[in-house]
Structure 1
């Protein structure tokens, strides 16, 4: 699958995770809404579904994994930053086929696209710390 299709999958998964966090609707309903309100022809659907459902099914585990690197309380996170960090943490833990530099860069781009003005700096700092533990084999 083309990198652009994965980029689009990440963007839509981020939007879906944000909607899920805010609405508390079932993830299947959120997925259906995203899939029916967007042009999915240029989206890596398998990746989109894996990210969306992976985060939703492992949210507590992912939150615990990223918590030591936040530098603030998890409940102080902006919902957009929270969605992006959850998605990136899932990729760092589960998707070792995706290089950590790609995961971090994509998360920064998502924060620039959807987050507050300085979100990308925060996301970069958190993931840069996390990757030293979560992908220590890849970094050495």
Structure 2
């Protein structure tokens, strides 16, 4: 999240940010392939990611707190593209980062939006977890 925030705020090259993180932080417990994927794929897919969550916002995208925006991008990316990450894990990791770095109750906002994104991207997985049949795509909205 911090690397994505740095890219969002400073506009530095992604390869520079990635190299700085590897040089400046202890990444011995970090899945470096996953980190690389997030850092490079999220900025490349902003239009798709914004399209997933923007319709659920109660404000303009430009009015979002930068941390909330970065977290929504990351959570939405994991829900859309990282099927290897269970939807609950993707949402919970995002919420935990929101609690750590975001505004006091920002994590609640993130949870509500990402829950809706999960119902769109992972309808079968969400329904199975909740013990229900998934709604047809035309009924999801």
Same fold (TM over 0.5): yes
The alignment partner of 2:29 has SS state of: coil
Larger Rg: 1 or 2? 2
2:33 aligned with 1:41, yes or no? no
* TM-score between both structures, scaled by the size of structure 2: 0.86
- Consecutive unaligned residues in structure 1, runs of 5 or more: 1-13
Aligned ranges 1:75-114 → 2 under 5 Å:
75-114=62-101
Deviates more, 1:97-106 or 1:55-64: 55-64
- Runs of 4+ residues over 3 Å off in structure 1: none
Q: Give the equivalent residue in structure 1 for 2:8.
A: 21
Q: Which has the higher contact order (CA 8 A, sep 6+)?
A: 1
* TM-score between both structures, scaled by the size of structure 1: 0.87
Structure holding more helix per residue: 1
The alignment partner of 1:40 has SS state of: coil
Q: CA deviation at 1:71?
A: 2.0
Deviates more, 1:37-46 or 1:64-73: 64-73
Q: How many residues end up aligned between the 2 structures? A: 127
Deviates more, 1:94-103 or 1:63-72: 63-72
Aligned match for 2:18, one of 24, 31, 54: 31
Q: CA deviation at 1:60?
A: 2.0
